Amino acid sequence: MKQSIREKLELLTGRLTELDRELSAEVAVRDMELFRALGRERAGIEPVVALYRAFRQAEADCASAREMLDDPEMRELAESELEAGAARLAELEGELQRALLPADPHDQRNLFLEIRAGTGGDEAALFAGDLLRMYTRYAERQRWKVEIVSSNLSDLGGYKEVIVRVAGAGAYSRLKFESGGHRVQRIPVTETQGRIHTSACTVAVMPEADEVEQVSINPAELRIDTFRASGAGGQHINKTDSAVRITHLPTGIVVECQDDRSQHRNRAQAMAVLAARIHDAQVRAQQAREAATRKSLVGSGDRSERIRTYNFPQGRITDHRINLTLYKLDAVMDGDLDELVAALTQEHQADLLAALADD
C-alpha cells in the first residue's frame, strides 16, 4: 500500500476516535443538528476504518507467519498462511482504495433525462423514441418511476425532443454516464432502396436539485411566456394557455412544458428542469476545468462527444469511451443496460483510483 494512502487511513482512524468523543460530549447531546451531522460523518468513516483495521491485522498475521518460516516443523503451515495472507491483503487493499474514492454527491438523486434528435431528420426522431423506450424499460427493471415532463413529437412518430423525470434510489449514479452523442446505423423505415443510414441523438442526464431554490435563479432574469399547447391532450389543453415557456436570459437556456393541463404544474416542472440545466452547466464547467489537468475517460458528459454507436444490421453496440463492443443490441434496446452500466462504472472508478495514487 502506498504511504500516502496509509497516511490518509491513519488520519481517518484518528478522526473516528475524535467523533466518538464529540458524540458523547454534552454539547452534541444538547444540539440535535450537530449530533446528526457528527453521526452522518461517523457513519461514513466507520466502515473505512473497520477495513483498515482488518488490513493491519492481516499484515500482523503475515508477519507472524514469516517468523515461523525458520522452524522446519512449522514451515509448511507458515507458507500456507503467507499465501492466504497475501491474497487477503490484496483484497482488502482494493476494497480500501474503492472506499476512499470521493463520493459523487448527486449519486442518490433523481434526474431529468433529455433526448434530442440530431442529424438524420425523421429517422433521428424515431431513434430518440427508441432511446426513450430503452431507458424506460431499464427504469422499470430498477423499479424507478418515469414521468414525461415535456415532449415534441415528430410527424412519423418518435420525438424531436423529449424530457422525462426519473425517480428512484441510485437513479443518477447508474445513468450519469449516458450523456453525449448516440449514433445509430440502420435502414430507415422511409428508405426504399435498402440503404443503411447514419443518424444521431444527443442525451443529457441532469441530477434534480433537491429544491429549485438551491440553484441561484434571479426572477428578474427570467422571461415567462404562456401559450396554447399543441398536439395530444384533448380539447381543454388546446383551448387554454396552459403551456409555459421559460427563458433564462443570462444563459439563453429555454425550457418548455406543455404536457400537463395545469399551467401551474407546467410552470413548476419547467422551473425544475431549468434549475437542473443551470446546475448541470455549472457541473460541466467544473469538470472542464478539472479535465484541463487530468483527462476523465468517462465522466465528462460532453454533449458533442460521440459516446456510443448502435449498429442494427450487425446487432452490435459499441461504447467508444471504453472500447466495449457487445453483440446483444436487441437486449440492450429492451432495457438490458446492466453490463454497459457496470463497465462504465468500473472504468470511472479506475480513473479515480489512478488520481488517488497520483495525489
* Span 191-219, average pLDDT: 81
286 falls within a domain:
yes
Residue 162: closest CA among 189, 130, 207, 197: 130
Place of cell 424506460: 136
Determine the Cα–Cα distance for residues 275 and 28; give it in Å rounded to an integer.
Answer: 35
Is residue 124 pLDDT above 70, yes or no?
yes
> How many angstroms separate the CA atoms of 19 and 37, rounded?
10
Does residue 197 sit in helix, strand or coil?
A: strand
Domain boundary among 100, 128, 153: 100
Q: Give the pLDDT confidence score for residue 237 in this predicted structure.
A: 43
* Top mean-pLDDT range of 35-39, 81-85, 231-235: 81-85
pLDDT, position 225: 86
Q: What is the CATH number of the domain that holds 29?
A: 1.20.58
Mean pLDDT in the chain?
Answer: 85
Per-residue pLDDT, averaged over 99-108, amounts to: 79
Query: CA-to-CA distance for 110 and 134, rounded, in angstroms?
Result: 18
Residue at a domain's end among 51, 73, 100? 100
Residue 70 sits in the same domain as residue 140: no
pTM for this prediction: 0.67
* Same-domain status, 159 and 257: yes
Q: Is residue 106 part of a domain?
A: no
- Domain CATH code at residue 200: 3.30.70.1660
Report yes or no on 26 lying in a domain.
yes
Tell me whether residue 254 is exposed, middle or buried, using C-beta atoms within 10 angstroms of its C-beta: 0 to 12, 13 to 18, 19 or more.
middle
Predicted local distance difference test score (pLDDT) of residue 338: 95
CA-based torsion, 96, 101, 106, 112: positive or negative? negative
Mean pLDDT of 101-106: 76
174 pLDDT higher than 80: yes
Of 99 and 78, the one with more pLDDT: 78
Q: pLDDT tens digit string along 147-164?
A: 998 888 988 889 999 999
- Write down which residue in 100, 129, 148 finishes a domain: 100
Burial of 143 (0-12, 13-18, 19+ CB in 10 A): exposed
- 232 and 89 share one domain: no
Q: Write out pLDDT tens, residues 3-15.
A: 877 888 898 999 9
Cα–Cα distance, 36 to 40 (Å, whole number): 6
Give the three cell numbers for residue 111: 434526474
Residue of higher predicted confidence among 288 and 278: 278
Task: Say if residue 211 is in the same domain as residue 92.
Answer: no
Q: Is residue 228 part of a domain?
A: yes
Q: How many angstroms separate the CA atoms of 219 and 248, rounded?
A: 9
Question: Strands, E, within 10-168: which ranges?
Answer: 111-117, 145-153, 159-167
Q: Same domain for 63 and 137?
A: no
Beta bridge partners of 205: 113
Q: Do 126 and 156 share a structural domain?
A: yes
Tell me the three-class secondary structure of 290-345, residue by residue. HHCCCCCCCCCCCCCCEEEEEECCCCEEEECCCCEEECCHHHHHCCCCHHHHHHHH
Per-residue pLDDT averaged across 196-218, rounded?
80
Count of Cβ atoms closer than 10 Å to residue 40 Cβ: 10
Q: Answer whether residue 356 is part of any domain.
A: no
pLDDT per residue as tens digits for the range 250-268: 888 888 888 777 888 888 8
Residues 206 and 154 grouped into a single domain: yes
pLDDT at 232 > cutoff 50: no
Whether 355 is in a domain gets the answer: no
Residues 231, 345: one domain?
yes
Give the whole-angstrom CA distance, residue 357 versus residue 348.
14
Residue 127 domain-assigned?
Answer: yes
- With H, G, I as helix, E, B as strand and everything else as coil, classify residue 215: coil
94-124 exposure pattern, b = at least 16 Cβ within 10 A, e = fewer:
ebbbebbeeeeebeebbbbbbbbbbebbbbb
Element (H, E) at 185: strand 180-186
Kindly state whether residues 44 and 125 are assigned to the same domain: no
- Does a structural domain hold residue 358? no
- Per-residue pLDDT, 239: 52
Same domain flag for 209 and 281? yes
Q: Are 206 and 294 part of one and the same domain? A: yes
Q: Considering its fold, how many domains does the chain have in total?
A: 2
Which residues form the domain of 84? 3-100
148 and 15 in a common domain: no
